[in-house]
Amino acid sequence: MDRYSFSLTTFAPNGKLLQIEHALAAVGNGSTSVGIKAANGVVVATEKKTGSSLIDVSSLEHMAMVCNSIGMVYSGMGPDFRVLVSSARKMAQRYIQTYKEDPPVRILVKELASIMQEFTQSGGVRPFGVSLLLAGVDDRGPNLYQVDPSGSYFPWKATAIGKNMINSKTFLEKRFNSDMELEDAVHTAILTLKEGIEGQMTEESIDIGVISTLPAAQSDGKAQPTFKRLSPAEIRDYLSNIA
């Protein structure tokens, strides 16, 4: 146990933490993910890149619901993402147990970021090899946050992470405006991903998650915004409007 009581992430002479830089490189190798905050909701989308046509793409889960009003997507290492999804879900449930309300997005983001930062300063562990995009609706309306391996977090109106992030962000800068409706935002997200995808884009090769500020009626009669992963059929509808 003592053998790893020291942190593996240490400062280089130029002031950088090289492990974090390398983690960011791992993120940069991952499939592109895109997020757009519309006036009445948020959309996140990612490319489901597979090395082989033999993979059952329909069972790949890139989009995770953290709680009813918050969803999460990533670029980078899948296994690291799963761990963070699990933590985020537990965090959200702990909050709900205490306050009987969904956590505001910024509160969940801070806690998640805190965990990711711990892994840059604790003994014997490495930073997470993912950047996260969190999309949710709370008392402040629609929210979109990015969380990096270092534990830094950024609120965005629109952003991209992963392989094609630079071109995608340039594309988004031209296309984004703050009056965008959710429908337009989904459309734009798809177009942004399309810029970076090699080959055909089908409903199997991308994953889209949306949450609208207009609450959907729940079974107990209480209306609540719900994060939803679009079905392949729904994605196909959007795609048919693009071609």
Partner 1 sequence: MRTATAVAAPIEAHGHNHWSPYVDNGGTTLAIAGEDYVLVASDTRQSDGYAINSRYEPKAFVLSNNAVLGTSGCVADAKRLCEVLEQRAQLYQHKHDRQISTPALARLLSNTMYNRRMLPYYVFPVLAGLDSEGRGAAYAYDAIGSMERVTNSCFGSAETLIQPFLDNQVARNNQRGADPERLLTRQEALKIAIDAFTSATERDIYTGDYLEIFIIDAAGVHKETRELKHD
Answer for which of 10, 14, 59, 97 binds partner 1 (CB under 8 A) is 97
Nearer to partner 1 by C-beta: 112 or 182?
112
- HSE, CB side, 13 Å, CA atoms: give it for residue 118: 7
Q: Give the per-residue contact string, 139-168, with partner 1 (x = CB under 8 A; - = no).
A: x-----------------------------
CB of 74 to partner 1, least distance (A): 26
Q: Does 11 bind partner 1 (CB under 8 A)?
A: no
Q: Which residues of 199-232 are buried (b: 16+ CB within 10 A; e: fewer)?
A: eebebbbbbbbbbbbeeeeeeeeeeebbbbbbee
Nearer to partner 1 by C-beta: 97 or 240?
97
- Piece in contact with partner 1 (CB under 8 A), picked from 37-45, 47-55, 98-106, 156-164: 98-106
Nearest to 106 by CA among 67, 137, 64: 137
CA distance 63 to 136: 13
Nearest to 187 by CA among 157, 160, 208: 208
CA distance 202 to 134: 24
Q: How many residues does the chain have?
A: 243
Q: How many CB atoms lie within 10 A of CB 141?
A: 14
Answer for which of 51, 54, 56, 100 binds partner 1 (CB under 8 A) is 100
Nearer to partner 1 by C-beta: 11 or 99?
99
CB of 126 to partner 1, least distance (A): 29
Nearer to partner 1 by C-beta: 27 or 108?
108
Q: Does 61 bind partner 1 (CB under 8 A)?
A: no
Nearer to partner 1 by C-beta: 114 or 177?
114
State the residues that interact with partner 1 by CB under 8 A.
97-101, 104, 107, 139
